[in-house]
Structure 1
Amino acid sequence: MNQAVVVTWSESEQVIARSAFQKAYERAVAQLTAAVQAQAASLSTVESVWALHDFLSIERHTMEGRFDFRLEEILFVFASLVKENLLQLQELDGLDAEKLAKVAAMSRF
């Protein structure tokens, strides 16, 4: 029988995880804002307006899916954020060595 491995988080690890998550979120928002400003500056046709709308719809869906803070899945989220350069492994310093190793390993794929 397969049983899920329960990862425990100390209070200090939860604070570190929450802080790192927030930093990555702020970076993603800054990137999105810059992209939207660049696209909005070049709007000249109704088609370009609809293209911006489509871009925003996709990005909203992506952001809402990516930035879901649940401890049971956060190591996967962190690996994805590291891979996308929205988070640095050093920002997770203070987490258990095994958690850090998992994030580092998963971020390589």
Structure 2
Amino acid sequence: MVESALITWSDSEQAIAEAAFSCAYGRAVQSVIGTVRSEADSISTAEALWRLHDYLSTQRHVMEGRFDFRLDGILFVFASLVKDNLLELQELDGLDADKLSKIKAMSRF
């Protein structure tokens, strides 16, 4: 059992959280790949090429900041991922009701 900022995580909850996090990360990566494929097909100038480079650099920065698996802040991460449709609440089934209600409430804002 892991305790994080006064929230206790059982081994099974931690496994659920890690699996959900991994799924959401995969979805985010696939979204970026889809955008890159779409944009790459229409590159015809150096400026368009550098715009794609800038997009990738920005996405890398955003994802590295967003996808930080530390239990002390993971409820906020999950809420953001639910809000952005990268994670479904059902993928967090098995977390205790208090954690789920916090994630659900925070995802509304």
TM-score range for the pair, normalised by the shorter chain length: over 0.9
Greater strand percent: which structure?
2
Write out the 4+ residue segments of structure 1 that deviate beyond 6 Å after TM superposition: none
1:56 and 1:19 map into 2 onto residues whose CA distance is 25
- Structure 2 equivalent of residue 59 of structure 1: 59
Q: Which letter does structure 2 place at the counterpart of 1:32? A: V
Structure 1 gap ranges (5+): none
1:23 aligns with 2:29: no
- Structure 1 equivalent of residue 101 of structure 2: 101
Q: Percent identity?
A: 64
Q: Which letter does structure 2 place at the counterpart of 1:94? A: G
With structure 1 as the length reference, what TM-score do the two structures score?
0.95
Matched residues, number: 106
**Root-mean-square deviation (Å):** 1.1
Structure 2 gap ranges (5+): none
With structure 2 as the length reference, what TM-score do the two structures score?
0.95
- By how many angstroms is 1:104 displaced? 0.0
Residue 24 of structure 2 contacts residue 81 of structure 2 at CA under 8 Å; is this kept in 1? yes
